[in-house]
Amino acid sequence: MKRHNQANEEIRGLVDQKHPTIQDVARHANVSTATVSRALSQPGQVSKAARERVTRAVSETGYIVNQAARSLRARTTRTILVALPDISNPFFSTILDSIERTIADRGYATLITNRGRGSKPHERLAGHLRSNRADGIILMDGLADLADVLRLYGPGDTAPVVIACEAIENVNLPTVKTDNQGASAIAVDHLAKLGHRRIGHVTSPAGNVLGRERGRGFRDGLIAHGIEFDPILETEGDFKAESGARAAQYFLGLDHPPSAIFCDNDIMALGLISELRSKGYSVPDDFSVVGFDDIEVAARLSPPLTTMRQARPRIGFLAANALIDIL
């Protein structure tokens, strides 16, 4: 009868998710739960004999630590939240890829959240931290009002937050990003050296800090070649292909269209080029176009899109490591 029950329990253990706890392991190994706990997290502090018995007991029982209990007790979740403006954008998803890899390699889990169109994204982010769901945030979304929350969270810009590919004004948190201003100036330099004097610009959405940096670089590039900045050659985009197509229509409608166009990202450049071609123009013969990001498909276009590379895998790697080092 006893045996029968025991067998049943083993089956139930597998089938009904009666997960073994640290107590079961302790019993199997003939040690206290404290020793099991230590054997698992600070093996150095446990005798070799005990360590081995615990290891065996763990595999015998199939024990896996209950993260909820550990988080509650240790006030740490080993989880990092990645806040993105748009996961489906290949620029971000490539960075996310390397962030996730780095986070996983260091034994953390990755929680993600897309920008909600809904209310108070900054509260949602802070909520993840405060509700003990995540230990830190990698922020790829530049929400202006987040600054307040972050500052509130810790004195002296101390929140466990690393900013990647973004910039938030008035906040002095660790940041990993491309030199947008410099790269944009180089893009313009490239076009000017091809002989272009009327250079158009499809900008980032208004208010985007990166966009301001790229705008400054764009003007730097013009100045370096003695070209006067003409606001009529600048039109606002939103980082999506459709806005690139609209920009093409805008430029074609001008009395004096530009002969070259710098787009603040590749996706808009794609939309712009496809619209120009559908109107019968050739790129690069009629218009030279330069994008930004170097998303994967850029090199696979015919001919390939000229673009400013952002070292995305490296950005992700650095940001993730920086955050975990802080924690």
Partner DNA sequence: CTGTTAGCGCCTTCAA
Partner DNA sequence: TTGAAGGCGCTAACAG
Return residues touching its own copies (CB under 8 A). 14-15, 17, 19, 64-69, 71-72, 77, 79, 86-90, 93-94, 96-97, 100-101, 104, 109-114, 116, 127-128, 130-133, 152-155, 241, 267, 270-271, 273-274, 277-278, 296-297, 299-302, 304
Helical residues (DSSP H) of the chain, grouped into ranges: 2-15, 22-29, 33-41, 48-61, 67-74, 90-105, 121-130, 146-153, 180-193, 209-224, 241-252, 266-278, 312-326
- Asked if 33 interacts with DNA (CB under 7 A), we say yes
Q: In the β-sheet with 199-203, what is the strand arrangement from edge to edge? A: 234-236, 199-203, 260-263, 288-293, 306-309
Which one of the spans 58-66, 77-85, 187-195, 233-241 is the region binding DNA (CB under 7 A)?
58-66
Choose which of 6, 8, 23, 249 interacts with DNA (CB under 7 A): 23
- For the bound state, the minimum distance from the C-beta of residue 312 to DNA, rounded and expressed in Å, comes to 35
- Asked if 37 interacts with DNA (CB under 7 A), we say yes
Contact 102, 284 (CB under 8 A): no
87 binds, among its own copies, DNA, none (CB under 5 to 8 A by kind): its own copies
| Count of chain residues binding DNA (CB under 7 A) | 28
Choose which of 2, 3, 4, 73 interacts with DNA (CB under 7 A): 73
- Asked if 38 interacts with DNA (CB under 7 A), we say yes
> Judged by CB, which is closer to DNA: 70, or 240?
70
Nearest Cα neighbor of 170 from 184, 189, 149, 188 is 149
Question: Which phi and psi angles does 48 have, rounded to 5°?
Answer: -60, -45
> Judged by CB, which is closer to its own copies: 99, or 176?
99
Helical residues (DSSP H) of 75-208, grouped into ranges: 90-105, 121-130, 146-153, 180-193
Q: How far apart are the first and last CA of the chain?
A: 52
For residues 133 and 80, give the distance between their C-alpha atoms in angstroms, rounded to a whole number. Answer: 8
For residues 288 and 280, give the distance between their C-alpha atoms in angstroms, rounded to a whole number. Answer: 15
37 binds, among DNA, its own copies, none (CB under 5 to 8 A by kind): DNA
- Point out which residues bind DNA (CB under 7 A): 19, 21-23, 30-38, 40-41, 45-47, 49-50, 63, 65-66, 69-70, 72-74
